[in-house]
Every structure is written in C-alpha cells, then in structure tokens.
Amino acid sequence: MEQSRKIQFRGPMKWGELDPNRRRSTHVGMWAWLWQRISAVAIIFFLGLHITRTYIPIIQFLLLITVVFHAVLGLRVILLDFNLINIRYRNSLLGVLVGLGALIFMIIWKGIY
Amino acid sequence: MSKALNSRRLVKIYRYDPSVGGNGHFDQFDLNIEDETKTTILDLLIRIQKTQDPTLAFRYACRVNMCGSCGMVINGCEALACKTNVSDLPEKCDITIRPLNHFPVIKDLVVDMKPFFQKLEASIPYFDPVDESMEPAVIRPDSKERNLIGLATECIQCGCCVSSCTMVNYHENYAGPAALNRAFTLLADSRDGLYDLRMNQVLESCYHCRTEFNCTEVCPKEISPTRAIKYIQLLALKEPRRLKRQNLLKPIHEEKTSGKESLPSADSGCNWLIEQHNRRKFLKQIIFGIGTASALVVGGVIAAAAIGPSLKRIPKRLVRLDKLEAFPVGKVSTIVMNDIVPNGFYKSEIKKPVIVVRRSDPDKIVVFNTSCTHLGCTVHWDESKKQYMCACHGGAFDEEGNVTAGPPPRPLDRYAFKVEDGYLFAEVV
Ligand code: SF4
Ligand code: FES
C-alpha cells in the first residue's frame, strides 16, 4: 500500500546525544586522537609564552611536556599508517609510546637542569 | 555465575514516534532476567514487545549474527542485539539501548540505512574479473594474498562501524569504514579488473580516517576497517603514477552506457567523483600554497639568523677587569674576564682568562688574549722559562708575545685597554 503521508524521520544522532552512556564509546584510540589535537593547541600557546618570556622553568617544563606528548602520539599514527606495527597491538602501543615519551622527557629535563 | 540468575534490570530504550516528531525520549522497562548468560539484548526487546509495549520498533531477522539488521547502540557501544548477552554488560547496571549514530531515525531503534548502502555502492563493491574466461579463478586458501584479505570479506553490513566513527559526522563525503573495508577486499584481489576505477573512488575517503580505531573496536565480526583503510593508502603510495595517469571521468561514462546497473548511480557516485577530482586539485593548490609560504617564512628566519649578526656592527665594549693595584708591577698576572654579550633574546656570559703584564719601566701595560694563535688552547706563563707556553701543541711565546717555538702562525693577540678611575678596562670587539 502506498504511504499516504510522508514519514518524518528524526535527524541522525551525531554523537549519541541523549544517551547517558555515550562516553563509554570513547575508546583508547579516540583518546589518542583527541589528546593529540589538544596538545597541538597547547603547544601553540606555550610556544608563544616561551618566546615572549624566555627561560622561565615552568613554561619550559610545560612546553617540553606537550611537545614530547604530541610527538609520541604522532609517532603512533606514523607507525600505524605505514603498517610498521601490527594493529593488533594498537592499544599497548599507545602505552609503550607514552612511557617512552616520559623517559625522553626526563632525560631532556635532567640535561637542562 | 550464580549472581547472574534471576536478576532484575532496568532497560532504557530510546523511543521516537514519526507521527509525533521531536527529539525522542527514553522509556524504562523493568525486567526479571532468569539467566543473563543465556539472554541476549534481542531477547529482551522481543519480550518487551510481546509483553509490555507492542509499539516498540526494532529490526532483526536471523538472530544468529548473520544478517546485520540488529545493529544498535547498547550502553554506549555499537553492537548486534543478537550477539550481546546481558551478562556481557557490567553487573547490575541499567541497560541503555538506542539507534545507531549518523543515520536518520525512522522509528524507535530503526534507522534509515540508505546513506550506508549508497556509500557502499559508490565503492564498487562487486567483483569484475580481469579476464573473461569461463573458468572460475582460483585463489589458494593458503596464499599470501588470501591471508592478507583474511576475514575482511565477512562484513555483514550492520553499520556499527559507521555509527562509531566520529569522522563520518564531520566529512560528508567520507565513504565510511564498511565501504572502505569492502573496497580493500577487492583492491587486494589480483583477479579483479576494476582496480583503477575503485581506487579513484575510495582513495580520497581514506584520508578522512584519523586512526581512532573506533570501527575496529565495535565490529561484531572482528574486522578492522582501519587496517583496510591503511592498506589502501599504502597501495596508493606504491603506485602513485597509476593514479595520475587515470582519466578520472571517462570510465564511469563508458560503463554507464554499457548498462551495468550496479554501478554507482548518477546522483551518488558520479557527482561524488567529479567533486572529489576538483577537491583533489583544490587541495593540491592549497597544500602547495601553504608549503611555499611556510618555506619562505622558515627560510627567511634562518637567513636572517645566519646573515644578520655579521651585517650588524657590534659596538666595542669596555669590560672591567680589576683595580689597577691588583696587578703588581713587574709581574705577569692572569685574571678571568667576565664579559656579558647580548645575544638575540638573552644575554650570555662569557668567562675568559686574560693575561695582564705590568712593567715598571716605563709604566707599561700589555693585556694578552690567552688563546694560542695556533688552535686556541689557553697559554700560561712559565716563570722559569720566561715564556708563554701552550700545552696543546708545544707553542711558545716570549715576553712580548712573539713566537719562539712550535706551530703558532703569529704573535699572541692583544687587547686594547683603558685605565679609568683606577680601574683597568679591556676593549672587546
Ligand atoms: S565492518 Fe564490521 S561493523 Fe562494519 S558493517 Fe561490516 S560487520 Fe558491521
Ligand atoms: S538478527 Fe541478524 S545479525 Fe542480529
């Protein structure tokens, strides 16, 4: 039978609005993606501070930590993009890389101060 | 698990009535579940529909994870209702069920899958053999190629991956994980004849992927569309020439007139392709523009930093050494000169020893630079030999700083100096 009047669809849900549980779908990889964007903005901010007020330890600290963090997340994407790491290990890869970043950070920081 | 027996669960189900419209809301149902390990979410839905609310709408067909109609979002994660047991969810927590993201909602949990199948169609999801021979082509199950494709062919088009991907929301032309996964299975297949066409259809979409792995996490068939997307990108990298040579628009028209009906339809596929082509051109120009601009800026900064200092005339500075009395007459004394040099944004402090010789007759002062004129080691005064000695290569200078032995090419350098208010200043350039 022909539909007599047009059915009114509800527009697509975009990110599970209304759903109290929607944050449960934020998987590890998505956090990695999100934090890389956040750290990118933070780098611009701290870099500006670093240039205008040179050699202030706290600014150097924050800049270095965001740069290192951003870099390891970028490394993750490179490794996965070029299939250098089996995607089976995608979640542990993140942990390893962030740990590596913390180590690099500590070495550089010790080198400066 | 004894706890999972005879448990009560509050089930919240999203409701949307097309005749009412609006935003929709959640209805609550209280259910007693006899054995959570043997009850699927689909069972709950059927029970609610039979015993509590016959107007509840949802899709299902096979009940055994084969048809892909029952994809929905259960407690925030995309899943098949018939594959998810109640015991898979955290104990005692309420159950929230809502329709998939990124698809228009028709009623309750039923969504309009048209965008999904349009995009799947645009990725040319069927096989077209290279040679027209009637013999069935053989791919050995243990071959490298077959293993690479693996279980990616098992997709049941449930739409879970598309719903989980946040990028589908932001990029209207993004084909989505399922379509790209399908394209991958055929692109990796050596028997297939539509490689170039398909590649041009889907490659652009692959760059919308942000490596979030949401699709991989939720796929009920444990396929990784992310892997498929990365593989297509690698294929394109390996054969960039082949892509460029393509006449992007011709094959579609040819195929169309030849009347194959399952090709991308005019509205979804072809416009999409033209748009992609233009977009690719536009993106290229933009990237070239940004690249040139940033190269100029970076180049400029580096050039200014490299050439700048030598162009600027650095004024002579007078550096205070010490009170004149601190240098006994007739003696050779060594003192560390503390020079502060302005350097870009900051000031650097240079500490450098200098030798001051003060003679009685007449009252004559010489300030020597302690760097050996050979290779710059620090020279020191040897009282017994009455010579300045350089320990590095055996250079020696007499009291006047002239070379007496070793490789130094010229006498020791001297600083001009000044005496003011009883202080001795060295003039540094
Ligand atoms: S790839 Fe997996 S999640 Fe996506 S449509 Fe196919 S079966 Fe469903
Ligand atoms: S009912 Fe067929 S997959 Fe769930």
Residue A78 pLDDT > 80: yes
| Residue A31, pLDDT score | 92
Residues in A closer than 8 angstroms to B345, CB to CB, are 51, 54
The single-letter DSSP state of residue B267 is: I
Residue nearest atom 7 of ligand 1, based on CA coordinates = B155
CB distance from B171 to chain A under 8 Å?
Answer: no
Q: Are B330 and B309 in contact (CB under 8 A)?
A: no
| Residue B72, pLDDT score | 95
Q: Which among B77, B103, B345 is the nearest to A25, CB-wise?
A: B77
| Residue B85, pLDDT score | 95
Tokens of B20: 């009412």
Outline which parts of chain B fall under CATH 1.10.1060.10: 114-311
> What is the residue-averaged pLDDT of chain B?
84
Q: Which residue has the higher pLDDT, B166 or A20?
A: B166
| Residue B263, pLDDT score | 45
A79 band by pLDDT with thresholds 50, 70 and 90: very high
Q: State the sign of the Cα–Cα–Cα–Cα dihedral B375, B380, B385, B387.
A: positive
Residue B142 pLDDT > 70: yes
| CATH label, B317-428, candidates 2.102.10.10, 3.90.1530.10, 2.60.40.10, 1.20.1090.10 | 2.102.10.10
| Residue B131, pLDDT score | 75
Query: DSSP string covering B396-425, please?
Result: EE-TTS-EEESS--SPPPEEEEEEETTEEE
| CATH label, B5-111, candidates 3.30.565.10, 3.10.20.30, 3.40.50.300, 3.40.50.1220 | 3.10.20.30
Residue B252 pLDDT > 70: no
Distance B245 CA to ligand 1 centre (A): 33
Residue A70 pLDDT > 50: yes
B280 Cβ below 6 A of ligand 2: no
- Summarised one tens digit per residue, pLDDT across range B170-190 is 998 899 999 999 999 999 988
Buried b (16+ CB within 10 A) or exposed e, B351-374: eeebbbbbeeeeeeebbbbbbbbb
Residue B386 pLDDT > 80: yes
Beta-carbon neighbour count of residue B234 at 10 Å?
Answer: 13
Distance B84 CA to ligand 1 centre (A): 15
Mutate to test the pocket of ligand 2, among B40, B41, B59, B69 (most ligand atoms within 8 A of CB): B69
Outline which parts of chain B fall under CATH 2.102.10.10: 317-428
Whether the link from the prior residue into B362 is cis, omega within 30° of 0, is yes
Beta-carbon neighbour count of residue A27 at 10 Å?
Answer: 20
Residue B272 pLDDT > 60: no
- Summarised one tens digit per residue, pLDDT across range B395-404 is 888 888 888 8
Contact B105 A12 (CB under 8 A): yes
Suggest the residue from B28, B213, B230 to mutate for an interface test with chain A (most A CBs closer than 10 A).
B213
Contact A12 B75 (CB under 8 A): no
Which positions 77-116 of B are in contact with A (Cβ < 8 Å)? 77-78, 96, 98-106, 111-112
Beta-carbon neighbour count of residue A28 at 10 Å?
Answer: 17
Q: How far apart are the first and last CA of chain A?
A: 80
Q: Are B173 and B205 in contact (CB under 8 A)?
A: yes
Report, as an integer, the average pLDDT of A32-39.
Answer: 95
Q: Which residue has the higher pLDDT, B163 or B344?
A: B163
B69 Cβ below 6 A of ligand 2: yes
CB distance from B342 to chain A under 8 Å?
Answer: no
- Please name which ligand lies nearest the alpha carbon of B40: 2
Mutate to test the pocket of ligand 2, among B80, B113, B157, B160 (most ligand atoms within 8 A of CB): B80
Distance B14 CA to ligand 2 centre (A): 19
Q: Which residue has the higher pLDDT, B424 or A79?
A: A79
CA pair distance B136, B138, nearest whole angstrom: 6
For B159, phi then psi, to 5°, come to 85, 0
CA pair distance A41, A95, nearest whole angstrom: 22
Tokens of B283: 């993106």
Least confident of B31-35, B206-210, B236-240, B281-285: B236-240
Q: Which residue has the tokens 């004849």?
A: B193
CA pair distance B188, B199, nearest whole angstrom: 11
Contact B98 A33 (CB under 8 A): no
Q: Which residue has the tokens 């600027």?
A: B312
| Residue B104, pLDDT score | 94
| Residue B267, pLDDT score | 46
Residues in B closer than 8 angstroms to A33, CB to CB, are 210-212
Outline which parts of chain B fall under CATH 3.10.20.30: 5-111
The helix or strand, by DSSP H or E, that contains position B163, with its residue range, turns out to be helix B160-164
B243 band by pLDDT with thresholds 50, 70 and 90: low
- What is the fold, at CATH topology level, of the domain defined by B114-311? Fumarate Reductase Iron-sulfur Protein; Chain B, domain 2 (1.10.1060)
Please tell me the number of Cα atoms within 13 Å of B246 on its side-chain side: 21
CA pair distance A13, A19, nearest whole angstrom: 10
Find the residue in B nearest to A94 (Cα). Answer: B212
Ranges of each domain in chain A: 54-113
CA pair distance A75, A32, nearest whole angstrom: 11
Beta-carbon neighbour count of residue B428 at 10 Å?
Answer: 18
Rg (CA), chain B: 40
Residue A40 pLDDT > 50: yes
Q: Which residue has the tokens 């933009």?
A: B286
- Please name which ligand lies nearest the alpha carbon of B158: 1
| Residue B424, pLDDT score | 82
